[in-house]
Structure formats: C-alpha cells, structure tokens
Amino acid sequence: MRLPGRGATIITSNGKERSYFCLAAWLTGIAFTLLKGLNRDPWGVGIFDLDLITLLTGYLFLSFGSIQAGIFALGQGLLMDIFSSGPNGLSALIYVGVFWGIYFGSLFFNLQTENGQIIIVSLTIFIKNATWQGVTALLFGDFVFSPSFFYTATVSIIGTGLLTPLLYTVFDRLRGVPAGEEDAPTLQDLKEPPWMNDHYG
C-alpha cells in the first residue's frame, strides 16, 4: 500500500499518462489501418504508404518496453487480418516479425539516437516488405515486381525512416517528456526478461 503524499500523486499521474498514450497509439493504429484500406490512390503512392504501425511499434518499444510493443504489433496485425482478404494470420505473423526486427535491431543500433531510429525502422520495414512478398509468392506461386510496387516500397522504407525521429520528438512533447530524458530500455534491459527488472513495470 502506497503512503499518500506528493510522490504517490506523481506516480499515479505518470501511470495515467502512459495509459492514455498507449490508448491513443492503439486508436491511431486502428484508424490508420481502416483508412489505408479505404484509400485508393490512382498514382499508387500516397501518405498511407508510410508505415505508421511499424513506427508506433518502435516508439512503444523505446518508451514503454517490449511487452507493450509486442502486444501492439500483434493486435494491429490481427486487426489487419480481420479487414483484409489475405490468409488468416499472415498480417499478425508479419507484424510480430516487425516487433522482433525492432528488438534485434536495437541490439546493434541505438534506438535512442536519431540515426539509430532511422536505421532500425527503415531496415525493419525493408525486411517486412521482403517477407510479405516472399510469403505471398510461396503461398500463391505469384510474384509480381512492378514500378508502382518499387515506388511504394521506397516511400514506405525511406519516408517512414526519415519521419521517425521527428514524430518521436512530437510524441515525447505530447507526453511531456523533456528532450534527452526519455526512459528507454538499455542493452541490459533487453537481455533480461521483463519480470527480472522494473523497467517494464
């Protein structure tokens, strides 16, 4: 039982802010997925080709830990499976792979730096797109490489990667986190199971 006082108030407020942001991330991801499904850009390239789900997964991983990020990635993938005509479970599998891409990427690059964020998110999206094409080609025996696919993939990989540091800064400001004071998981945090440390509590 926590003793009443100023410290307890701060902890409670911080917990509420974390919950509010996670809820906002889920709603944003859901809205983005639905709008992307409705969007039909005749040019084949548009703002919905930016991979906001991967970007948000990376931010949740950076700010809240692996559990929240993993649940978010799996949940968004399941949502895509519900509203897509593809094989059941394919999108969920792909976005679980996105989570692991960010996890392993953070072991080699610093997700707390702008360069690290760009590299990790861009590489994860590249691997995601390659995996998607490989799995669909394996399942349906059909692989189509067109200029529109190339342009779309380029926008998704490079555009999302370059936007990542900017949007992460915006997210920090919305949460009231001062620059340079983000509570990000360290390398030791990533190597240890979540229940062995307090970071993910």
Range of the domain at 79: 12-196
CATH number of the structural domain spanning residue 104: 1.10.1760
Q: Which tokens belong to 135?
A: 């799995």
Q: Does residue 5 belong to any structural domain of this protein?
A: no
Q: How far apart are CA 189 and CA 169, in angstroms?
A: 22
* Low-confidence residues in the chain, pLDDT < 70: 1-15, 37-48, 85-86, 141-149, 178-201
Q: Does residue 201 belong to any structural domain of this protein?
A: no
Q: Does residue 141 belong to any structural domain of this protein?
A: yes
* Residue 5, pLDDT score: 43
* Residue 150, pLDDT score: 75
Q: How far apart are CA 195 and CA 201, in angstroms?
A: 8
> What is the full DSSP assignment across the chain?
-PPPSHHHHHHHHHHHHHHHHHHHHHHHHHHHHHHHHH---TTS--GGGS-HHHHHHHHHHHHH-HHHHHHHHHHHHHHHHHHSSS-TTHHHHHHHHHHHHHHHHHHHS-TTSHHHHHHHHHHHHHHHHHHHHHHHHHHHS-----HHHHHHHHIIIIIHHHHHHHHHHHHHHHHTPPTT---PPPHHHHHS-GGGSSTT-
* Residue 121, pLDDT score: 96
- For 27-56, write each residue's pLDDT tens digit: 988 888 887 766 555 444 456 678 899 999
Number of domains making up the chain: 1
* Residue 7, pLDDT score: 40
Q: Does residue 105 belong to any structural domain of this protein?
A: yes
Q: Does residue 100 belong to any structural domain of this protein?
A: yes
Q: Does residue 20 belong to any structural domain of this protein?
A: yes
* Residue 126, pLDDT score: 93
Whether the Cβ atoms of residue 172 and residue 179 lie closer than 8 Å to each other:
yes
Q: Does residue 157 belong to any structural domain of this protein?
A: yes
Q: Does residue 2 belong to any structural domain of this protein?
A: no
* Residue 168, pLDDT score: 94
* Residue 199, pLDDT score: 43
* Residue 151, pLDDT score: 77
